[in-house]
Structure 1
Amino acid sequence: PCLQTWTLLHVAFTDMASSSKEPNHKSVDWANTFKRLVAGGLSGCCTKFAIAPLDRTKILLQAQHPYYRNHGIFRCVLEICRREGVLSLWKGTSMMMIRIFPYSAVQFYSFRQYKSYYEPLIGNEHIKKIISGSSAGVTSVMCTYPLDMVRARLAFQITGEHRYNGILSAFASIYKHEGGIRGFYKGISATVIGMVPYAGVSFYTFDSLKELCIKHYPELLARPDNFSPETLVLKTWVSLLCGGFAGAISQTVSFPLDVARRRMQLANVLPDSHKFQGISSTLATVYKENGIIRGLYRGLSINYLRVIPQQAIAFSVHEYLLELFGINRTKD
């Protein structure tokens, strides 16, 4: 992970150095970088707000919360509304927005940077896309993981039984009682390992489908870019379909590691926390106690309901914003 982060920084500083040698293009480069970061961040915020209720339900089911462990997806949603109110479905959303903007901005921007960096190093286009997507995912996780930890803790709380009084309270409590900075990175190994196939497959699938659609079915699936009519971009409905498919495939591959990550993040608020201290022990415990379907893949169905629209919205909004800002990704 440190190597991935260093690589991104190396590429960024290399770009800045080359820009400084060309004064006429420096402001344009900085402007485009800012636009790309904003586009990535806003696409993540739009996505997460839309699927926040499903996201919280997934966390409660994955961690086998005592109040909801015996419920299915829709029954769990109804029970949350009955017990805590409808607005509680968005519990932890403010923390999620704080986390998701930098996370999504870094991920989308670094994917483009990694593609450029690996261009002369990797000849196979498919491998290059997968490695670039994985590298982008790892980089974004390393930059924002403490925010994800706090967000998971807040979402796990039940109204009337609060352990934390807010974002600052959660940060202070974790730092004080769970080993300082190390406490914010519980489950990071499972997250990084899970992000490698998830982000790699997700970016690879969408990018490949996009190129295939534009190359082979331009009249049916594409349209001219509003800022560059000579360049084609995906139609909105096609972008949504490609993003949704990418999300479904990537989530299936990486879901057991996502379950392990949540269990490790929530270890200190679970009664049998000693079982969830490492990836292998967590996966073994979940498999032994609950099996594959009701353990390692528990919550996968709701995750499809969550991830498919999430990735569809994320990629589509990102593509739209890049077009709106006058930056077309097909030129990358």
Structure 2
Amino acid sequence: MAELVKQINQRKEKIEIAVKTFLSGGIAGCCAKTTVAPLDRVKILLQAHNQHYKHLGVFSTIHQVVVKEGFLGLYKGNGVQMLRIFPYAAIQFMSYEQYKKLIKKYLSENTHVIKLTAGSLAGLTAVVFTYPLDVVRARLAFQVKGEHIYLGLRHTVRSIVHVEGGTKALYRGLVPSILGMAPYAGVSFYSFEMSKIFCLEHFPDVLGKPSPLSTGGVVLILPAKLLCGGMAGAVAQTVSYPLDVVRRRLQLSTMLPDSHKYESGWIQTLIVIYKEHGMSQGLYRGLSVNYIRIMPMVAVSFTTYESIKQILGLDTGIDR
């Protein structure tokens, strides 16, 4: 009987930790995305060469969006983004923690393998569950005031399903998204974790503070969390950015004047972008704005995640 009670308590504790991790991840994702929502909108406009902004740079595009559509134009599509990002980030962070345990138990005890593999699998899991909302958000964010095709979330979903060939149209661009997310999420989580370990092992007095859980451990101070998160975002984005551009082109293909070029799939789309625009103006188009957005976004995301975990009583010290 005592053993049964012990097993029940252990299961309850695991469920409680999973729920707290889920909430921490969801809140962290919403905070991070809202922080950089204007830059997200600009990135989408530049990636797909919107006819009104394709000749402009990052800051001139921000200025023109405000002139043409008002300040709230910078947040177009952010409502749908929040509907997507809470479950996306919640699933990603929660599954990352679970994958780490499973990989360590059944596959490998190598720290590097665990973090890279768990991060990649967590990113893939989150993408598959929330991808249709990413497509809808991209369509809404790409529209310019006075030229609206879609009137909101429900109208966008109905239009895509009815006009573009059914439910599968909501998953257009999923393959390059998966191919890009695996290295992005893996490198992002891995870079953050390894940066955290480096800071706490080599500079515990400067970048660390005693854990609020009274475990005798050390956790990162807020500026150090932001620094580690920013570095992780920059490294990860550089690796996966071309596939992010391909994903956006496929998501927005029916809204582009030369949509027929992108009907043969993601490989052909990648080739077309490279042939027509090259690397800097094609496959890495909008990378500068992405660096500006990704560093604070990932920094805020990881920082908020770890801070909320601490508030909820979960350990955020060195994880080996």
* TM-score, normalised relative to structure 1: 0.92
Which of 71, 80, 88 matches 1:95?
80
| Separation of aligned partners in 2, 1:155 and 1:269 | 12
Q: Which residue of 2 aligns with 1:12?
A: none
> Any runs of at least 4 consecutive aligned residues in structure 1 with deviations exceeding 6 A, and if so which?
none
Deviation, 1:29, is 2.4
For 1:191 and 1:139, the matched residues in 2 are separated by: 12
Please provide the CA RMSD for this pair: 1.6
Identify the residue that residue 280 of structure 1 maps to in structure 2.
267
Q: Which residue of 2 aligns with 1:9?
A: none
How far 1:273 moved relative to its partner? 1.2
* 1:1-54 C-alpha deviation (Å, 9 max, x unpaired): xxxxxxxxxxxxxxxxxx997122333322221111000000000011110000
List runs of 5+ in structure 1 lacking aligned partners.
1-18
Equivalences for residues 63-74 of structure 1 within 5 A: 63-74=48-59
Give the counterpart of 1:58 among 27, 30, 43. 43
1:136, 1:124 → 2: CA distance?
18
TM-superposed deviation, 1:214: 1.5
* Structure 1 residues 175-254: aligned runs within 5 Å: 175-254=161-240
Structure 1 residue aligned with 2:284: 297
Q: CA deviation at 1:286?
A: 0.6
Gaps of 5+ in 2: none
Residue 323 of structure 1 pairs with residue 298 of structure 2: no
Contact 1:20 1:26 in 2 (8 A): no
- Per-residue CA shift, 1:83-134, capped at 9, x if unaligned? 1111110000100000000000011111111111111312432122111111
| Aligned mate of 1:144, from 119, 124, 130 | 130
Assess if the C-alpha contact under 8 Å between 2:229 and 2:303 holds in 1: yes
Deviation at 1:241, TM superposition (A): 0.2
Alpha-carbon distance between aligned partners in 2 of 1:257 and 1:283, rounded to the nearest angstrom: 8
- Deviation of 1:315 (Å): 0.4
What is the alpha-carbon distance in structure 2 between the residues aligned to residue 254 and residue 330 of structure 1?
29
1:211 positional shift: 1.3
Aligned residues: 315
Q: Using a 3 Å threshold, how does the CA distance of structure 1 residues 230 and 295 change in structure 2: closer, same or farther?
A: same
**Once the two structures are superposed, what CA deviation does each residue of 1:176-223 show, in whole Å capped at 9, x if it has no partner?**
111111010000000000001100100000011111211222111111
Question: In the alignment, is the contact (CA less than 8 A) between 1:60 and 1:156 conserved in 2?
Answer: yes
Deviations 1:241-285 (A, max 9, x none): 000000000000110000000000001111111212312111111
Report the identity percentage: 47
Which whole-Å CA distance do the structure 2 matches of 1:21 and 1:187 have between them?
A: 47
